[in-house]
Amino acid sequence: MTTAQTSAGSLIREWRTRRRMSQLDLAMEAEISQRHLSFVESGRAAPSRDMVLHLAEQLSIPLRQRNQLLLAAGFAPSFSERPLTDTTLAPAMAAVEIVLKGHEPFPALAVDRHWNLVSANAAIAPFLADLSEASLLTPPVNVLRLSLHPGGIAPRIVNLQEWRTHLLERLKHQNDASGDPVLVELERELRSYPSGLKGSRPTPVEPNAIVHPLRLAHGDQVLSFISTITVFGTPLDVTLSELAIESFFPADEQTRAVLVRLAKERSERS
């Protein structure tokens, strides 16, 4: 259903169900009566603008979908949606570049809500060389597709089964949170790719491991990475709220040494 065809009440009910909350749960969180919430969801009561935003906050609805909820309730959107090239986002985008550059010699990249590449630092380049499916690097580059496609990085991922499971779980969690049809279709596509199960066994987890690393073949070596995700705090712009930076750190000394050497070689060539 489009927002124009869907009432605010039914959208609130849909998000409440998505969050696995009962009417009583949401009413208590929002500090309103269950009877009033029931009337809002059924359309017997029209919520005010403040009530729409209040319920959206309790349901942790993403900013893009909060705008849709406001439109369904007959109100103008509250949150701007600017392109990344907009001058008002320049300070934020400068901050992204500072983080990416500052993370070198370790790889880091920024992605939008659909996992399309926005920017990356120089440390990413060596791992994108000589892909069998060069079209995967044609903009917009989808980072998840690039990672799991058999013509992309997947053949170099030593623990493909585990890493694929990790990425698909993250994507499913994002789908549950946003309800974005583009991401639903992306998840369907990625699940159709080879899983890495045939003829392989799960990589044993080290007894003292704290996270499951990405293990990537590079030449005759296997590099190990752990990663973190960074997002903007308290964003008021839809586009900015959907921007994320993934930073990869060496999980062992060998990986660190290789990354430092690759950075030195790039510097000498430039």
**Does CATH place domain 6-71 in 1.10.580.10?**
no
Domain residue extents for the chain = 6-71, 85-196+206-266
Q: Which residue has the tokens 């909060």?
A: 66
CA 19 to CA 25: how far, in whole Å?
10
| Residue 49 contacts residue 70 (beta carbons within 8 Å) | yes
Which CATH number is 85-196+206-266's, of 3.90.230.10, 3.30.450.180, 3.40.920.10, 3.60.110.10?
3.30.450.180
Within the chain, what is the greatest distance between any pair of CA atoms?
70
Per-residue model confidence as pLDDT tens for the chain (270 residues):
444 458 999 999 999 999 999 999 999 999 999 999 999 999 999 999 999 999 999 999 999 999 999 999 999 999 999 999 999 999 999 999 999 999 999 999 999 999 999 999 999 999 998 899 999 999 999 999 999 999 999 999 999 999 999 999 999 999 888 888 999 999 999 999 988 655 555 555 555 556 779 999 999 999 999 999 999 998 999 999 999 999 999 999 999 999 999 999 999 987
Which of 230, 166, 240, 238 is closest to 196 using CA atoms?
166
CA 60, 66, 68, 72 torsion-angle sign: positive
- In this structure, the number of other CB atoms found within 10 A of the CB of residue 41 comes to 22
Rounded to an integer, what distance in angstroms lies between the CA atom of residue 214 and that of residue 224?
Answer: 6
Q: What is the pTM of this model?
A: 0.86
